[in-house]
Amino acid sequence: MHTWLVGICDRLQNVRVVVWLVTAQYAYPFIQWIHFTGLSLWLGTTLALDFRLLGPGKRFQTAAELSDALFSWNWLGLCIAVLGGFTLFATAAVGYIDNPAFRLKLGVLLPLALAWHIFVQRKSRTWGRAPETPTVAKLAGLTEIVLWVSVATAAVWIPNY
């Protein structure tokens, strides 16, 4: 299984465009840029809903209204982030699959956070009807913030291995 995976990663890493991205001067930051721009849209809108569920500050919209207004931007952001993230992975795929921080991020934390996000987004329609959200909604929002911070923490730690 592992040899097979390494084989795929090795081929991915040697695709001509990928090799060019790694060797061309100033090109690599552009891939990071796609990843971070997507993440800004994805996490900016995701955290906005989580904070609304938590409920501090003035309330201009219910959580349900906010979720509805942000929905398209939210998922567009994830698509951009995944596009950039996959390309970043491709540039050094063989090294990444054996990196403990990367494995923790992609194998455990990201799927967990993503599943939790879908749950919170769906539930916010019922939790978010009234200006004041129920306690369970606040806990769910807080949990999602913690999950995404843990995903990013694992990502930031990748270069330390």
Partner 1 sequence: MMSRLCEWLEQVPWIVTITNSAVLISLVWLAHYFGFFLLVGTTAVVDLRVLGAAPRNQKLAPLAGQLFPLAWTGLGLVIASGFIMFAGQATTFYPTAVFRIKMGMVLLAIVFGVIVQRKLPAWDRAPSVPAAAKWLALASLVLWIGAILAGLEVPAFIPV
Q: Which of 108, 111, 97 is nearest to 11 (CA)?
A: 97
Q: Which residues lie closer than 8 Å to 97 by C-beta, 6 or more apart?
A: 5, 6, 9, 103
Q: Counting contacts by CB under 8 A, is residue 36 touching partner 1?
A: yes
User: Which one of residues 54, 66, 120, 147 is an interface residue with partner 1 (CB under 8 A)?
Assistant: 66
Kindly list the distances between the CA atom of residue 156 and the CA atoms of 39, 101, 105, 153, in Å, as whole numbers in the listed order: 14, 9, 10, 5
Residue 2, class by beta-carbon neighbours within 10 Å (0-12 exposed, 13-18 middle, 19+ buried)?
exposed
Q: Counting contacts by CB under 8 A, is residue 69 touching partner 1?
A: yes
Nearer to partner 1 among residue 48 and residue 92 (C-beta): 48
- Report CA 67 to chain centroid distance, whole Å: 17
- Candidates 1-9, 14-22, 36-44, 109-117: pick the segment binding partner 1 (CB under 8 A): 36-44
Nearer to partner 1 among residue 91 and residue 94 (C-beta): 91
Residues 73-112 that bind partner 1 (CB under 8 A): 73, 77
- Are 77 and 148 in contact, with CB atoms under 8 Å apart? no
Q: Counting contacts by CB under 8 A, is residue 120 touching partner 1?
A: no
Q: Which of 86, 139, 133, 135 is nearest to 110 (CA)?
A: 86
Applying CB under 8 A, the site for partner 1 has a residue count of 40
Q: Counting contacts by CB under 8 A, is residue 37 touching partner 1?
A: yes
Q: Counting contacts by CB under 8 A, is residue 45 touching partner 1?
A: yes
Identify the three-state secondary structure at position 92: coil
User: Which one of residues 48, 94, 97, 142 is an interface residue with partner 1 (CB under 8 A)?
Assistant: 48
Contact residues toward partner 1 (CB under 8 A) are 25-26, 28-30, 32-33, 36-37, 39-45, 47-48, 51-52, 57-61, 65-66, 68-73, 77, 149, 152-153, 156-157, 160
